[in-house]
Chain A
């Protein structure tokens, strides 16, 4: 098994992915009575905005990691420039 030391992107990816789960319970701090009186639409907007942010960042990291692995295994690393 390769050590975590040689795969820092794995550690960072895991940490960033955990944030997605953390961003979800927006409504946790609001009581159910208040929730029942409000539309859930703004909560969805907040949830989508935070989820998209972390998905884009995790996707970017994953993309760099994939290109790095490609190079390390003798490929071209999908050179984009």
Chain B
């Protein structure tokens, strides 16, 4: 796939994502009702949950592409894994900053070392380690393989993070959408707003990740050009 095509794909998804985000903001600030117990601060939910969803999606893609890279040794899979991991770190940072802001008001404390929060923070640091390993390895190929293994192992935390609130009930709310027994327990207006948020964030994520993939493509081209240039001496 050419760089121009990659950029255009990113652009199209980005425009759709930005349109989705505009609709989301209208829904959040002018349409959906205010939650009775927590009040206006509950509106952080519409940025916190979509960012959490995208973080898990990103780390899942990193694991899948990393595993496929270990098997097939196709550089493009490594580019995709690396791009998704970077996206996971950014959306993870959004999740890890919006959550404590909400908690500071709703719980009276921004952070507690309860299982879901602790595991989520641990997962974020594991994927930070993904980049540290790549950057610090003297042998670039070995670094990529080690990072792929870390990506696969790190993604094992995703289901643990999800079930942690079921196994160890704490301050963090139980799932309100992926509720196996009762189905979604959210008010219908809130559910619609959340779904728009999930879609918009997913589009934005794929747009920027494809754009980031283009950077790796460009680096590859640059490396080829540099290698092919005749030596001056």
Which residues of B have CB within 8 Å of A79? 219
Assess the B105–A53 pair: CB atoms within 8 A.
no
CB distance from A4 to the nearest CB of B (A): 9
Answer whether residue B119 sits at the interface, using C-beta atoms and an 8 A cutoff: no
In the complex formed, the residue of A with least CB distance to B43 is A46
Assess the B215–A68 pair: CB atoms within 8 A.
yes
- A53-B94, A57-B204, A60-B208 are contacts. A19–B82 as well, Cβ < 8 Å? no
Assess the B214–A68 pair: CB atoms within 8 A.
yes
Q: Chain B interface (Cβ within 8 Å of chain A)?
A: 7-8, 10-11, 14-15, 18, 21-22, 25, 29-30, 39-41, 43-44, 47-48, 51, 82, 86-87, 90, 93-94, 97-98, 101-102, 104-105, 131, 134-135, 140, 143-144, 147, 204, 207-208, 211-212, 214-215, 218-219, 222
Contact with B along A1-30 (1 / 0, CB 8 A): 000000011011001100100110110110
Which residues of B have CB within 8 Å of A25? 29
- A8-B7, A19-B18 are contacts. A80–B134 as well, Cβ < 8 Å? yes
* Residues of chain A from 38 to 76 with CB closer than 8 A to chain B in the complex: 41-43, 45-46, 48-50, 52-53, 56-57, 60-61, 64, 67-68, 71-72
Answer whether residue A81 sits at the interface, using C-beta atoms and an 8 A cutoff: yes
- A56-B93, A68-B215 are contacts. A15–B147 as well, Cβ < 8 Å? no
CB distance from B221 to the nearest CB of A (A): 9
Assess the A45–B218 pair: CB atoms within 8 A.
no
Assess the B90–A60 pair: CB atoms within 8 A.
yes
CB distance from B49 to the nearest CB of A (A): 12
Assess the A8–B104 pair: CB atoms within 8 A.
no
Bound form: Cα–Cα A29–B207 in Å: 32
- A19-B22, A53-B47 are contacts. A64–B41 as well, Cβ < 8 Å? no
Assess the A80–B131 pair: CB atoms within 8 A.
yes
List 6 interface pairs A-B (beta carbons < 8 Å), by A numbering: A8-B211, A23-B25, A45-B102, A45-B105, A53-B51, A80-B134
Contacts A12-B11, A49-B44, A57-B94 given; 6 further ones with Cβ under 8 A? Answer: A19-B25, A26-B29, A46-B41, A53-B51, A57-B204, A67-B215
